[in-house]
Amino acid sequence: MRAKLTTLFRAVMGLVAALLGSYYTAKYALLARRLGLPHVSSDGRRGFIVIQIDGLAYDYMLKALELGYAPTLQRMLERGEMRLHPWKPGIPSTTPAVQAGILFGNNDEIPAYRWYDKEAAESRVSVSPSVAQVIQQRLSENERGILYGGSSYMNMYDGDASLSMFTVGSIGRHRFFEGIRGAGFLLLFALNPLRSLHVIILSIWEYLVDLAQRSHAFIRQETPRPLGHMFPFLRVMSNVVLREIQTFSALLDIYRGVPSLYTTYLGYDELAHHYGPLSKPALRALRAIDARVQRIDRFRRLVPTRPYDLYVLSDHGMTEGTPFATEFGQTVGELVQELVGRSVELNETFGARRQDLIRTLYLQDELQAIEQSIGTPLSRIPQWLRRYMARRLPYDISDWDESAEHTDLVVRNSGSLSHVYLNARKEQMDLREIVSLYPSLISSLLAHSGIWLVVGRDEDSVIIFGRDGLVSLDDEYQVESQDPLSDIPYAHWAARQLARLARFRSAGDLILIGRYDADTGRLSCFEDQWASHGALGGPQDMAILMVEPSVPWTVTAPQHSTDIHSLFTQLYHAS
C-alpha cells in the first residue's frame, strides 16, 4: 500500500511540475517576444547559474542556517542537493577584486576598493564606471570571461557577457535596455499589475522599516546605525526594486536558454555594514535573497530549455568592528599626519559620501537609458526617479575634486585596509627611504592600539611588521622575534597575499591593517562601518561556495578567486 501511495504521489507531483512548466513556458515566451529577446541556440553543453550573496561570511552563513533565515539553502543542504564549502577569496577581499578573479581569472592591480595613482596624481574608486571600464577592458584583452555569450546582472564586470544590466564595467557599452523594442524592460511592471503592486508595497514597507529602525537607534543613541542621506533610497533600490528586476531577468534568461548567468544580490552586504552581519535588518535581507534562490532553482528545473548547474557563493565575508574614528577620535589619515608632522597636507577619502554619489550617478545613467528606450507615458517613471535622486544628493557634484596633486600625504581606506602614499617622491617608496625621512613613523604606528600590521617593501622583499616581531618574504618565510600573523590559523597564506598586494604598482608606500582581536573576533575599521571587509582577520577571510554534488568540482576549498575561474573554464569552456 505504501509503495502504491508513493507511486501515486510521484505521478501527481510530476503532473503538477509538467503543468507549471507549460504555464511558465507560455508566460515567458510572451514576455521574450514582447521584449525582443530571442532564444539562444543550444550548443549541447550544460549551462550554469551563479547566484552571489554579497558579503556573506562562512561563519555567518552557518549561524543564519541555524537561526532559520535561509530555509531554501538549508533544505538544499539537508536533501543533499548542494554541498557547502568555505573558501578564501584573497586580499583585498572586496567585490571588485574578487569578481575580477572569478570572471576573468586575473585581479592584478586592484589593490583595494579605493586607492591612489601616484604617477598620475589621481584617486581611483573601483565602483566608478570610468575606473571599472578601464579594468574591464584590460581584463577582457588578456582572458575571455566565463560569461561569454551569457548575462551579467548587478556585477562589477560583465565577464564578456552578451547582455548586462546594472553592471558597472559595462555602462556605455551594451546596457540591458539598449536594443529592446516596444515598452522596454518596464513591461515587467506594465504587463503585470499584480507584480507592480507587489514591488510598490514591498518598497513602501522597506522604507518604513528603515525609518523605524533609524528612529529607534537615534532615540536610544544606539550604534551601529546608518546616517547617510541616500541610504534609505539606496536600501529600497537594492533590497526591493533591483532585487525583483534581477530575479525576473534571471528567470527570463533561463527560459531563453542563455549559456551562463551571474547575478549578485547586494542587500545583505549593504545592511550588514551598517547594522552588523547578524543584525535583524541584515538577516531579513538574507531571508529575502534565499526566497529568490528558491524561485530561480525551481524555474531551472521546470523549464528545460537547457540543463543548468547552480552555484551559490559569496565574494567575501565580513568581520564586526568599530570605526577607528569613533574609537580614537581621529581618522587613520589624521593619525599618520600627526606622526609625520602637522605641517604636512593630508588628503583622505573617508568613502561613504563619495560612494553614495558614484552609486547614485550610476543608477541615474541606467535610468536614463530606460527613459530613452521607451515612449511616454512610461518614460515618466524613470524620469521621475532620476529627478528624485538628483534632489536627494546632499552636495554639488561639480564641487567634488579628487585630485591630490599638491598634497603631501594621501590616505585611501577600504574597510580595515589603508594605503598610505607619501608624496615626497612620485614613485613608490621603499622602507629605507621612508625610515630616512620619518624615522619613528613605523614604530609609532605599531604602538597605536588601532593598528595591527604595517606592510612595506625593501628591495625584493616585503616586510610585514607587527608590534612584537616581523615577517620577511622573498623566496622564504622568515620570522624575527614573534610572527605578527600568529593569531590566525592560515598565517603563511595571509603573508603571501599581503606580499602580493604590496607589489602592486598602485599599492601604498605603506599598507596598514587595522587591529584584529582574535579573542573577541572584532577589528578596528578605517571607514565609518560597524562590520567591514577588504583586509584580514576574522570572518571576512572566508566566503561560501555551494556546489551540486553531481558537478565534478575538483577543488573543495579554493585559496583565491582565480581558482574558481579556472574551474569554470575547465567545466564549461574547455575546447
State mean pLDDT over 1-18.
48
Instruction: Report which of residues 562 and 26 the model is more confident about.
Output: 562
C-alpha cell at 137: 577592458
Ordered alpha helix ranges (H), 221-350: 231-236, 242-256, 267-275, 280-302, 324-328, 332-340
For residue 540, which of 56, 96, 32 has the smallest C-alpha distance? Answer: 56
User: Given a cut of 60, is residue 574 above it in pLDDT?
Assistant: no
pLDDT at 198: 66
User: Given a cut of 90, is residue 56 above it in pLDDT?
Assistant: yes
State mean pLDDT over 252-269.
93
Ordered alpha helix ranges (H), 221-266: 231-236, 242-256
pLDDT at 193: 59
pLDDT at 287: 96
Residues 352-398: tens digit of each pLDDT: 455 555 556 556 665 666 566 555 665 665 666 666 556 555 444 44
pLDDT at 182: 31
Residues 438-471: tens digit of each pLDDT: 999 999 999 999 999 999 999 899 999 999 999 9
User: Given a cut of 70, is residue 167 above it in pLDDT?
Assistant: yes
C-alpha cell at 145: 570571461
Instruction: Report which of residues 98 and 179 the model is more confident about.
Output: 98
pLDDT at 404: 45
pLDDT at 400: 42
pLDDT at 519: 93
Residues in a beta bridge with 121: none
How do the residues of the chain divide into helix, strand and coil, expressed in percent and rounded to 5?
45, 20, 35
pLDDT at 315: 97
Instruction: Report which of residues 366 and 409 the model is more confident about.
Output: 409
Instruction: Report which of residues 371 and 347 the model is more confident about.
Output: 347
C-alpha cell at 394: 546632499
CA distances from 127 to 107, 108, 170 (A): 15, 16, 12
Residues 471-504: tens digit of each pLDDT: 999 888 999 999 999 989 999 999 999 999 999 9
Q: Which domains does the chain have, with CATH numbers?
A: 2-318+353-397+538-570 (3.40.720.10), 323-345+408-532 (no CATH)
Band of residue 163 on the pLDDT scale cut at 50, 70, 90: confident
Q: Which amino acid is at 74?
A: Q
For residue 98, which of 107, 85, 111 has the smallest C-alpha distance? Answer: 107
Q: Which amino acid is at 508?
A: G
pLDDT at 21: 47
Ordered alpha helix ranges (H), 37-94: 58-67, 71-78
For the chain, give the percent of residues with pLDDT over 70: 71
User: Given a cut of 80, is residue 87 above it in pLDDT?
Assistant: yes
Average pLDDT, the chain: 82
φ/ψ of residue 205, rounded to 5: -65, -40
Residue 361's H or E segment, with its range, is helix 352-373
Band of residue 304 on the pLDDT scale cut at 50, 70, 90: confident
DSSP string, 108-165: TT--SSEEEETTTTEEEETTSHHHHHHHHHHHHHHS--TTTTSEEES-SS-TT-SEEE
Q: Which amino acid is at 359?
A: R
CA dihedral 77, 81, 87, 90 (to 10 degrees): -120
Instruction: Report which of residues 407 and 456 the model is more confident about.
Output: 456
Cβ(246)–Cβ(165) below 8 Å: yes
User: Given a cut of 90, is residue 259 above it in pLDDT?
Assistant: yes
State mean pLDDT over 188-195.
56
Residues 311-338: tens digit of each pLDDT: 999 999 999 999 999 999 999 999 999 9
d(CA 514, CA 317): 16
pLDDT at 16: 41
Sign of CA dihedral 219, 223, 226, 229: positive
pLDDT at 361: 58
Residues in a beta bridge with 413: 418
Q: What would the 3-class secondary structure string for 410-431 be?
A: EEEEECCEEEEEECCCCCCCCH
Q: How many other C-beta atoms are found inside a 10 Å radius of the C-beta of residue 287?
A: 17
pTM, rounded to two decimals: 0.84
Cβ(248)–Cβ(373) below 8 Å: no
Band of residue 63 on the pLDDT scale cut at 50, 70, 90: very high
